[in-house]
Each structure stands twice: as C-alpha cells, then as structure tokens.
Chains A and B, each alone.
Chain A
C-alpha cells in the first residue's frame, strides 16, 4: 500500500454527483482506484462484520483495538524499510495477538491485568508508529492515512491479498463456528464437554488479528471499530439470534462501507470520517429502535420470575 496524501488540495479532480443515479454509479466504476476501493471495502466489511460479531459476543473489543493499534508501527516501520504497509500490518497484528494470547493464559492473573497490559502496549505502539512515520518523512500525510484511513492508494494486488485472506478466515470460522460460540457463551460447560476452549481462544485471536489488520488498511488503525465493532454491535442490538445477527452485521457493514466510499468520492474528506460517522448513525438508529421496542412491550420486559411467583404477582 502506498500512502497517498489525504485532502482536497491533492485530489486530482473534483467530481460532483449529477441527478442521474445510474450515471453516477457508472462514473464511480470508471476509475481503477475506485473499483479497487469498492472491492477491498466489500471484502473487509464482510470479514470485519463476521469476526466482529464473535468479538463483541466475547467482549474482546478492547483486545481487538489493541491488535489494530499494534499494526500501526508495523505498517509505518515497513514503509521505512521500503516494504509494503500491508505486510507490516499483518506481521505486527499477528505477533501482537500471539503476545496477548501468551499473557492471557499466564494463570488467572493474566485475565485481571489484561486491560492494563493492553493499554500500556497501545501507548507504546502509537509512540513507535509516530516515530517510524516521522522517519519515513513528514508524518502529516503518512501517519494520518495509517491512523485514520485512506481508499485512494489501494492496489489490485492488495485487493487480491485481502480477498484470499478473507476466504481463508471465513472458511475457518465456518469450521469452528459452533464450538467457538459454545466456548464464548459458556466456557466452563464447553470445557467439561471436551471443547478445546483454550485452543479456540488463541485461534480466534489470530483470526481477529487478520481481520483487524485487513480493516485497518481502509479505516486506519484508530478507526477499525467502524467496521469491526459497530456493525456487529448494531446487529446484536437488533437481534439475539446468532445466524440472523451475523447476516445483519454483514448487511450493515456493507451498507456503511459503500455509503462511505461514495461520499468520500464526491466530498473531499477522509474515508475514515465517513465510515465512522455512517456506522455511528446506524448504531444510534438501532439503539433508538431497540429502546422503542422495549417500551412498547413493558409486560414482557418486566423482570418476571418463575411460575411459582406468578399467581402472587398477577
């Protein structure tokens, strides 16, 4: 991934939407960079929504964010060394996931100190990332794209890498989906039934690392949550059904990504802003909808107890 400067000043053109929707869409697809961006965005949206659904259910959002932030010095460092930022993102995110896995399994203490350790690692990672970016040359453009996202410089090769990794990750999820859900919701029973809960936990951290590093290439490391958390969290607000929730998360992720890409094409602000604000708007709507729905069925929502108590209550 090259690191293009972001902003109106360097935009080669100033497109504006016409009134003919079909013509506007056709115009989007005439530019190779735009096709790459839409393809990459689509792949990343699907991958992030699926992995994000499990991440939200497992309450590993903070871990996911830490892994994405670790990708920042990786990407910046790779650029300094003359490598592609993509390689740096994946290498550091996967290494970070392995470190987190090792810390977590170091007895029960690991679980309690996890957030402090992760916070410390995040700070160090951001510092290193900024340092590498300044080494690479004037950190305004480079660091900004790595942190807050960019869709201008996505290459066809990058799209291919994203696609292959997404297919692998989704195939693995299809293989381990049921036991992973069991281990996420009810780990102590899952262990007793012979589900390899620890191995699944490490495996999931690695899948999460790939998803976070993939998303970071479009959203930037600081805004991965726009695709990794928000669509999944929105879906879980709307439904507690696993399969429906996964499907809904994917649909929301795609809607958010496509809307943001079109907006970023016509309006000269960074893609990360559009992604995050669209995703946030979707979440807000779902939140309001779920609140309204709860209010409309108060009888069902009241903390009912068991049958024994009901004659007394009613």
Chain B
C-alpha cells in the first residue's frame, strides 16, 4: 500500500455476535496519522469495532481492509491497549519488562541474561524500549513492579507496550476509563503527541469526547446499529445524532466548550453515564 492509502477501511460492513447484529452498513475510513475517536452508548459495538480491526471477530457482511490487507491477528504493525481493569498489586513484573514484551514477546525462545553484551539486536531492542518509555514519560517508575503503580502510570506503560514494535496503527479501548480528570487530560494529550511523533494512526474508544475534543481529527459515532463518521463538530450535532438514534437528541455546548448530549436514552449522554463506577 502507498502512503496515502487508508489504514483502516470498513465498507458496508456488519458484525453479528451471538445472532445479534451489532452494527451494519458501516462505512468508515481511517487515514495514516489520523487521531480518530470511537464514541457511542454502551453496547453500541465500540469494542467490537476494535476487535474486528484486530481480526479477532469476523464481519458478517461487507469488507474490511487493515493496512492494505485482510484483518488478522499476529500483526506487529498494530499496537493494542485493551479495555481492562488495572494490574493487581501482586503482579511481580516491572513496567520495563511489560514494555519489552510488547516488542519481543511474540517471539519464541527465552531471554538470556546479559544478551546486550554480545548481540546487536538485543542492544537495539533495549534502546527502543528505553526510548518508548521516555516518550510516554514513564522513565522514572518503569523499573518498579507494575502492580505498585497508579492507574495513570500503568496506562502510560501499557501505551508504551503497544508502541514498542513501531506500529502504524494504535488501537486504544477506553484508555481513559478509571482515570481521574487530570490524568484523562494528560493521557489524551500524550496519545495525540505520540500520534504525531511516531507517525501512527490512532483509533481510541472513549466514553466522553470532552477530554480528547481538542485533539481528535475525526469521530466515529456508533449508535442504533449504525455509524456516522466525520469531524467532531459535524457528527456531534442534533441532526446527525437524532438520525442515528432514531429519536430527537439535543447537543448542548457549555461555556467552556464541553459537549453534552441530552434527550436520547440515558446511555446516550456521554459526559457522565458511567453506570458501573
């Protein structure tokens, strides 16, 4: 594929999970270096879209092209940060080890002690790990056990793990969930910075558009079994969302520029709809 070709292209795509059509007729394009947010109510199929791109869930209709080919697992050109709760405090492995697994973990064999002394590849890998940890600003605590770190620190190391193998596409599933507001802003800014520094396209599933509103190029809004894609202020409008939900929806802008969706089902408002704290 050439440089201008899309990184991800869904065409008339549909996914069916356990007999239920999650979404259908989806046409979505993610271009190189773009920062795209995936929004929508719970159960709208946001994570399903990420898993389809990873090749973990097949389409039931339409086509999906990822990095010029069919989606498949074992793709080191895709970095993935899954939705999850944080590491348990008992996990006795350092942050730097986790990041290194993101670079070398899929390779057979076992790490040798002191390999850096005689292997140029091991030195290059150690350098890459160090650099990517620096990029996410985790150098200070990367040597500590991952379970002892705060949620924001763990999230940064998980992003470093996903970036280690120099992917061209970064998939982040709710990376801001379970972070406090200052950390949400910091991680959002970090992801935007990484997208530019590493020239990697970013697809981020988010509950709330507001922490990332200043950074995203496009949003994909999944609701009512369909998707709308475009710049945030074109998609998050009364007309577009009302059409998606099939019921009147109003978008309000606060004085600070925050967007709040009201009028749809409760799940539709994304500023504060965390039903499971």
Contacts and interface: CB of A to CB of B under 8 A. Distances in A.
Interface of A: 57, 59, 173-179, 181-182, 185-186, 188-195, 236-237, 240-245, 247, 300-301, 303-309
B98 interface: yes
A190 B105 contact: yes
A50 B9 CA distance: 46
7 A-B pairs with the lowest CB-CB distances in the bound complex, closest first? A194-B74, A177-B110, A182-B105, A240-B145, A236-B92, A188-B82, A306-B152
Interface of B: 54, 56, 72-76, 78, 80-82, 84, 90-94, 97-98, 101-102, 104-113, 137, 141, 144-145, 148, 150, 152-153, 156, 161-162, 180, 182-183, 185-186
A306 B84 contact: no
B150 A305 contact: yes
Contact of B162 (A189, A240, A244): A189
Nearest to B151: A305
Nearest to A177: B110
Nearest to A304: B150
A191 B105 CA distance: 11
A194 B108 CA distance: 12
A176 B182 contact: no
Secondary structure dominating the interface of A: helix
Secondary structure dominating the interface of B: loop
B54 A192 contact: yes
Residue of A175, A189, A236, A244 contacting most chain B CB atoms (<10 Å):
A189
B110 A174 contact: yes
A286 to B, nearest CB: 12
Residue of B105, B111, B141 contacting most chain A CB atoms (<10 Å):
B105
Nearest to B102: A189
A49 B103 CA distance: 27
Contacts of B56: 191-192
Contacts of A178: 101, 104-105, 107-111
Contacts of A243: 111-113
A58 to B, nearest CB: 11
A57 B137 contact: no
A77 to B, nearest CB: 37
A176 B108 contact: yes
Given A177-B111, A181-B105, A189 B82 contact: yes
A182 B110 contact: no
Contacts of B109: 174-175, 177-178
A194 B73 contact: yes
Contacts of B82: 188-189, 192
Contacts of B54: 192
A306 B186 CA distance: 8
Given A174-B109, A194-B74, A185 B93 contact: yes
A57 B146 CA distance: 13
Contact of A305 (B74, B152, B161): B152
Nearest to B94: A240
